[in-house]
Structures are given as structure tokens and as C-alpha cells.
Amino acid sequence: MNSKEIRAQFLDFFETKKHKIVPSAPMVIKDDPTLMFTNAGMNQFKEFFLGNSVAKSPRMADTQKCLRVSGKHNDLEEVGKDTYHHTMFEMLGNWSFGDYFKKEAIEWAWELLTDKLQIDKDSLYVSVFEGSKDSDNLEMDNEAYELWSGIVPKDRIIMGNKKDNFWEMGDQGPCGPCSEIHVDIRPAEEKAETSGAFLVNQDHPLVVEIWNLVFMQYNRKADGALEPLPEKHVDTGMGFERLCMVLQGVQSNYDTDVFTPIIREIETITNADYGKNEEIDIAIRVIADHIRAVAFSIADGQLPSNTGAGYVIRRILRRAIRYGFTFLNTKEPFMYRLVNVLTETMGNAFPELKDQRQLIENVVKEEENSFLNTLEQGLVLLDNLVSKAKGKVVQGRKAFELYDTYGFPIDLTALILEEKGYTLDEKGFHEAMKEQKDRSRSASEIAKEDWMVLSDDSEQEFVGYDLLETNVKLVKYRKVTSKKEGEQYQMVFNLTPFYPEGGGQVGDKGYLEAPNGDVVYILDTKKENNEIVHFAKNLPKSTSDTFKAVVDKKQRQRTAANHTATHLLHQALREVLGNHVEQKGSAVHSKYLRFDFSHFSKMTVEELREVENFVNARIEGQLPLDENRSVPMEEALKGGAMALFGEEYGETVRTIRFGQSMELCGGAHVKITSDIWHFKIKSEGAVAAGIRRIEAITYDAVKDFYFHNNRSLFEIKDLLNNAQNPVNAVKALQDENAKLKKEVEQLLKDKAKNLKGDLLAELKEVNGIQFLAKKVDLDAAGIKDLSFEMGNNKNNLFLLFGTEQNGKALLSCYISKELVAEKNLNAGTIVRELGKCIQGGGGGQPFFATAGGKNPAGIEEALSKAEEYLN
């Protein structure tokens, strides 16, 4: 079976068991502060487990793109070194939301593996949670044990501890005991020697976990306590690549058809052979794995960057580039050339790869170029460190600087040092690293108290499309403390007119008013999971009151104008530049809007004007907002609405339309386009390879913009003596200026010529030397020209010029070359000594040197000392 068939078999099987097959959620998570990337198939269903919302179907199954590179589940450092860990992988999963439980989950898993997929029963082991004696004090999972005992011999059931058999998504959230299924694919003779039961969970490459059946029963709270969930659920996850390994009869995930086409391409590009040398093999596996993680993230809209999720992606890519650089000798960008084969292998199951191929290639190539430069610079800096190292040990702190400032990886530093016969002070490196981590942790550290729940009203309705003011009741609140913001309170209401940050749009601000007139300001509004959280510096005095919640109307109007303008801008760009334009990011603030989009060259002035005209024509056209708050997703797509990759949409969506084009959007918009007033682009530039950014303003920001420009124009006109046509007046001034400049240059040349004649006449002989020491009114370059010109006319010259420029003193000494040799004179030594008179220093060559100082009053003294010196 090829991998495509295996994926289909899994989904078909669960479809026959009445599961709804759903699409993978995006791999990059945008609105959950506790998680950067999807790290398990269940992430998108977290709210169903917690009972915060109800699933449309009680049984679901899918294949989910996962990335385990940060937080609780982080496999990054394993990847490449072994044959069965990945950064990005597919997790096949089936779920029950308060529906079936352990019995069905166990029986169906067994049926699929042994009956449908025909995996030899004798190669399978299962594990069961043994309980824990710690503060959680959990009982052994007897139910699972009994169920498994009816299916497999007892010696194939392994009892497992909390680390292996109690699954938790993160520090908080749904969790529960689990049963894992492991497969032993060792050759028969090895099996005969040692039972696989001893090798389960022992990091043996051929005795690996393939499926984890989690029985969700608890919620881990912020304070660490376990709270039983209102209902019991099933969450299973099977490693797709590992399943392919077993079914395709190979001994490494990288030998399955998921990876072999990529590996063949790496071999072709780098001339390396896979399977001959362990170091080279590791490098090839790292590259084959990492290109998937990076390509899928970019397709999901997450570009490499210097912060957050973008930084994680950049580090993954750099890890791969470095392995190539060190072990495969790749000194040119090459990873971008793998995107094609990846798209051919996975593009059918994940069409976003096909659609975003060009962009992924461009971004990866640019990242490669810039990191290869860094690597080269780093090598130079490293040479420098080596030359300064005492006793063949390079200081750890210095290596840390190289890592921190230039992104130069520490293992590469260690490797290069080793080749040169040096060692690295690793202790110093780790100390410096720890200090930095402590610094950044304490800057952002957040302590969250548990929610104080006042009512069980779990339907938090957003009413802010229609109302900017309404009465609300507090449902729950908690205190959060961070270094950055200090103490704050977060509040959730039964309903709210406040728009939570999302879809690029900033959160609303405003205030709460208590019946006695007390006011609490709402500083920001954000979405956390499915709840709308309001941030404030303090709590209302009586939390049980009914409050008037009032959104800052002006801010909302401005933001709405910018949001609608963003949609019109998107349309305009597709119209003016072409349909390759896709949104790559947007930020809708009250003061401005920012829009990132795919396009490959700088926009011309004409194009920018056309785009502005397009948008302004629609503003003048007074197009009313035509919205539909609940359209089934499929219908919206059929109607031509464009969904963005990497955005998650529910079953029903809100569509909005101004004129022709229909879009999916949950944000705040104007009721009619004329409310935007006017649209003005302020800048256009590049943000990454193939991605441009426009910043623009609307509404009263445009008024301010024109007001300031107009005022400047009046001031300019005023300076131009009230010229009727200031443009012509400025042009005339520029012409006149150019003419005057030329005249001045000529005059200066003439002056220098005259000066040279005068000064040659002033020379006097001192000890057989033609000597002159004089203060002149020329700048440094002028003095230099003058000195060398005089030198062309006279031999045996010793010139010392002093000048005062902008309150600073300059000395300049010229000595004919024959004097330098015969009399052993050195201009450099002389100016250094004379520089003391002007409180400065200097140097240069024996025949010409200069000194600068801050005391012009000392120039005369220096000049007279020169003659004394020659005497």
C-alpha cells in the first residue's frame, strides 16, 4: 500500500464507524496564547472536551498536520539522529465527544490494525496506565486492562507510568490516562532472543509506539489541580509515517514513500549517497524532515522571522541549512529546490502546498542566502576568536555572542574548533545562555490565577456588530500578573459589544459603568479559545452589578473604516496587479492599516495611483454593507468567497459584500463605504521574498495627513515669497543653486592657486629646509591638495598648516620624500607631538600626517614649536 492508500484506509474505516471526516486544522495556531503550533490532532477540539462548546458531530476523524518543536512536546533535537521522530508529521485520529469510550476505542483500533491493515498480532504490544502515588493520586486504569485482557495475551500488556501513560496537552487543559499500541518490527531471530515487551518505550528504533488512545477525563487547572470533566471523551492519535513504515515493510520512516522522493532529490542536488555514512545520513534526514515543517508553515501563512512562531520556523530551517553546510558541503541555497518534489508527494492531500509553491520557494531561498552569509561572517569571527584564545580554549561567553548576535550555531562552533585543535568552554557558554534566558523570562513572565466563576452562563454572545453599548453581567474574572503590564484583571461577560482582537483587527477599548457611576476602563479585548476576554487595570467594586459596557466609538469607527478599506485594497490589488495577489497578513488599527500580499516586484507610481483610485471610486460609490452572519461554509465558497490559508473557519461563516466581491470576515466594517471618507497609501515596500507591504490611512487620519501637508505647503509658499506656483519656484531655486555651486568651486580653485603662489613666496630656509608654518582658512581636503601642489613645485619642503573648522582644530604636516629619507623626519611623529598643543592626537605617514584636537587656541603654539623643532 502506498501512503495515499494508507491514509484513505484509515479515514474510510472510521467513516464506516459513523465518524464525520473533517479537514486538518492549520498547523500554525493564531488565537491560543497557550500554544504556537498544533501539536496533536485534538488541539482543534479542546473546547469540546472542556465542555465550552458542543461538537456538531459526536464522532470525528481526520489526518492532522502537527509540529512538535516547542513547549511540552518537543522532538526537534531527536530529529535526524533517529529514524522515527519528526518535527512535522501527520497524526491520524478518531474522536468521541461524550459518545463512545474505552471499549469501542480499543476494539476499533485493534480491528483496524490487525484485521483491515493485517498487521501481525504477534508483533503488537499495548500499555495501560498503572496509576500514580504523587499529589494527583490516580488509580490504575483497570477498565482498559480488562478490555485489553479480552483481546491480547496478558504478557503483551505493559503497565506504564505517568510519563508514558497519562497524556496532557500542555501545562493546562484536558488530559487523561492512555493506552499506547507499540509495534515490534525486528527480525525474527532478534525477537527470539529478547522479548519485545522489554523494549517498549526504550527508544528502540524497531520497537515503536504507533497509536495512542487517550481517555480524556480531567482538566489540568492553572494551579496544577485535576478537575474531572463534565463528560468522558476519546482522543486517539496514530503516527502516519510510522504506520507507513510498518505496512511498507521498511525499518525507517525515511524509507517509506513519504520521504524517499525527497531523499532522492537531496542526493541528486548534493551528490551525496544516502545509506553509506551515518553523519551524511543524519544530515539528509534532517533536511528531508525540516523542509516539510518549513514549507507547511509558510503555506499556513507563517513566514520565518525574528520573534515567536516565525523564529521557531527560522531556527528549524537554519538547522537544516547548517547540516547541509557541514556534512553535505552545500555552500549555495538548495533547500528551496526540494519544494517541488514535496509538492508532488503531498500536494494532493494538502493543496495549500500547490497553491503556495512559488512563495515557499522564494522565501526559503532568501532565508538560505541570508543565513549562508551569516555562516561565512561567523567563520571569520570565529577565526578571530581562535587567534585570541589563550591556551587552546575559546571563551564560552564569546561563542555565545556569536550565537546570539549572528545566529551562529553552537554545535557548529564546537565542530570547527575541534577541527582546528581547539576546545570550547562549554560551561561558560551555557552560563551565558542561562543568564539570557532568565533575563527574557523575567521580562515576560505571567502568573495567572484561576478563574473566579460567578455564573455558569457559558454562551458569551458578541453583539458588537449592532451595538456599541449594552448592559452586561460579569460571568468570571481572574488576576494576571506580568512584568510588562504589572497586575491586570481579565473579565468575561455574558454578552459583549467589545470586538476581540482577531482577523488582523485590534481589540476594542472602552469602559464599564457601574450603577453608582463608577467607571472601569477596558484597555484591550482578546479572544482566548472561544471566550472574549476584557483587560482592565482594576475590577469593579461590586462584581455582581449590571454594568453598562461602552465601546470607544471613535476608535471603532476608525478601525472599521480601515478594515473595510483593507478589503477594498485587496480587491484593487488583484484588479491592478493580477490574480496572483494573495493576502499574506494584515493589521487593522485605528490609526492605519497594513496589508501584506504576494507580488514579485516593486509597485510603480502609476500602479499605486490606480489602486488608490480604485478604492476611492468605491468609497465615492457609497456601496452599502451586505452581510450574512451565518452562511454554511460550502455555500460561501460556492458563492465565490475567498478563504485564506492558515485561517480557521467554523461550519458557518459570516460573509460580507461591498459591491461585487464577497468575502469571509468576522471583523468590524462600516455600514456604507462613504463612511471611510478617503483612502491614501502612505508607503509600499518589501517584507520578504515575493511579499510586499502597503501601509495606508483612511477617515480622519487622511484629514490630518492633508491638513499637515497643506500647512507645510503654506509655510513653503511663504518662504518662497508667496510664489503662485511653488513647484516652479523651487525648480528655479535649484537651478540657481547649481549655478552658484559651480561658481563657488571655480572661485575656490582660483583662490587656492593664488594662495599657493603667495605661500611659496613666504617659504623661509631653516637648516637647509624650505619651511612654512601657517594658519590658513581651508578645510582638510583643501589643505591636503595645497600641500601636495606646493610639493610639486618645490623640493626640500616642510609645511605645517593649522586651521580651525567648526570650533575644532586641525594640524596638517607635509614633508618632501627626500627629507624624510635624508634627515630622518617623520610627519606622523611630529603631528602626534604637536597635537598635544591643540588637545588632540593624530598620525599618518612619514611624508603626510594630520592631527585633530578640540583646542583651536593652541594652533599658534603648535606652529611656532615646529620651527623650534627644525632649529
Q: Which of 6, 28, 29, 40 binds ligand SER (CB under 6 A)?
A: 40
Q: x-or-dash pattern for ligand SER, window 206-225, by CB under 6 A?
A: ------x-x-----------
Segment 704 to 763, residues that bind ligand SER, using CB under 6 A: none
Q: Which of 235, 265, 352, 582 binds ligand SER (CB under 6 A)?
A: 235
CB of 80 to ligand SER, least distance (A): 21
Question: Which residue, 239 or 507, has its beta carbon nearer to ligand SER?
Answer: 239
* Residue 99 makes contact with ligand SER by CB under 6 A: no
Torsion angle, CA of 497/500/502/506, rounded to 10 degrees? Answer: 90
Could you tell me which residues come within 8 angstroms of residue 744 by beta carbon, excluding any fewer than 6 positions away?
Answer: none
* Residue 94 makes contact with ligand SER by CB under 6 A: no
Residue type at 603 in one-letter notation: M
Question: Which residue, 212 or 770, has its beta carbon nearer to ligand SER?
Answer: 212
Residue type at 833 in one-letter notation: E
Question: Which residue, 75 or 111, has its beta carbon nearer to ligand SER?
Answer: 75
If one counts every other C-beta atom within 10 angstroms of the C-beta of residue 273, the result is: 11
Segment 261 to 320, residues that bind ligand SER, using CB under 6 A: none
Could you tell me which residues come within 8 angstroms of residue 60 by beta carbon, excluding any fewer than 6 positions away?
Answer: 19, 20, 21, 22, 45, 94, 95, 97
Segment 314 to 333, residues that bind ligand SER, using CB under 6 A: none
Q: Which of 170, 237, 540, 690 binds ligand SER (CB under 6 A)?
A: 237
* Residue 842 makes contact with ligand SER by CB under 6 A: no
What is the spatial distance between Cα 308 and Cα 36, in angstroms, rounded to a whole number?
8
* Nearest alpha-carbon partner for 559 in 513, 526, 601, 593: 593
* Residue 26 makes contact with ligand SER by CB under 6 A: no
The residues with which 631 forms a beta bridge, in sequence order, are 653
Please give the backbone phi and psi of residue 53, each rounded to the nearest 5 degrees, phi first: -145, 165
What is the spatial distance between Cα 790 and Cα 787, in angstroms, rounded to a whole number?
5
Question: Which residue, 40 or 811, has its beta carbon nearer to ligand SER?
Answer: 40
290, 263 Cβ separation under 8 angstroms: no
Question: Which residue, 243 or 689, has its beta carbon nearer to ligand SER?
Answer: 243
Is 864 strand, coil or helix? helix
* # binding residues, ligand SER (CB under 6 A): 10
Which region among 38-46, 610-618, 674-682, 688-696 touches ligand SER (by CB under 6 A)?
Answer: 38-46
Q: Would you call 754 exposed, middle or buried from its count of C-beta atoms within 10 A (0-12, 13-18, 19+)? A: exposed
Question: Which residue, 212 or 253, has its beta carbon nearer to ligand SER?
Answer: 212
* Residue 583 makes contact with ligand SER by CB under 6 A: no
Q: Are strands 652-657 and 662-664 parallel, antiparallel or unpaired?
A: antiparallel
Question: Which residue, 237 or 333, has its beta carbon nearer to ligand SER?
Answer: 237
Question: Which residue, 65 or 186, has its beta carbon nearer to ligand SER?
Answer: 65
* Residue 201 makes contact with ligand SER by CB under 6 A: no
* Residue 403 makes contact with ligand SER by CB under 6 A: no
Which region among 229-237, 411-419, 443-451, 604-612 touches ligand SER (by CB under 6 A)?
Answer: 229-237
Task: Find the helix packing angle between 726-762 and 699-719, rounded to 10°.
Answer: 50
CB of 159 to ligand SER, least distance (A): 19
Q: Which of 7, 22, 26, 41 binds ligand SER (CB under 6 A)?
A: 41
Question: Which residue, 49 or 771, has its beta carbon nearer to ligand SER?
Answer: 49
* Residue 174 makes contact with ligand SER by CB under 6 A: no
Which region among 36-44, 224-232, 269-277, 535-543 touches ligand SER (by CB under 6 A)?
Answer: 36-44
If one counts every other C-beta atom within 10 angstroms of the C-beta of residue 332, the result is: 10
* Residue 422 makes contact with ligand SER by CB under 6 A: no
Could you say which DSSP state residue 272 is in? Answer: -
860, 832 Cβ separation under 8 angstroms: no
CB of 232 to ligand SER, least distance (A): 15
* Residue 93 makes contact with ligand SER by CB under 6 A: yes
Is 118 strand, coil or helix? coil
What is the spatial distance between Cα 11 and Cα 4, in angstroms, rounded to a whole number?
11
If one counts every other C-beta atom within 10 angstroms of the C-beta of residue 420, the result is: 14
Question: Which residue, 100 or 814, has its beta carbon nearer to ligand SER?
Answer: 100
Which region among 45-53, 231-239, 267-275, 501-509 touches ligand SER (by CB under 6 A)?
Answer: 231-239
Is 539 strand, coil or helix? coil
CB of 163 to ligand SER, least distance (A): 13
Q: Which ranges constitute the DSSP H helices of 464-577? A: 553-577
* Residue 545 makes contact with ligand SER by CB under 6 A: no
Q: Which of 10, 14, 167, 371 binds ligand SER (CB under 6 A)?
A: 167
The three cell numbers locating residue 557 = 469607527
CB of 95 to ligand SER, least distance (A): 8
What is the spatial distance between Cα 84 and Cα 359, in angstroms, rounded to a whole number?
29
* Residue 112 makes contact with ligand SER by CB under 6 A: no
* Residue 170 makes contact with ligand SER by CB under 6 A: no
Question: Which residue, 100 or 167, has its beta carbon nearer to ligand SER?
Answer: 167
563, 668 Cβ separation under 8 angstroms: yes
What is the spatial distance between Cα 313 and Cα 319, in angstroms, rounded to a whole number?
10
* Nearest alpha-carbon partner for 215 in 202, 229, 201: 229
* Residue 236 makes contact with ligand SER by CB under 6 A: yes
The three cell numbers locating residue 776 = 590658513
Binding site for ligand SER (CB under 6 A): 40-42, 93, 167, 212, 214, 235-237
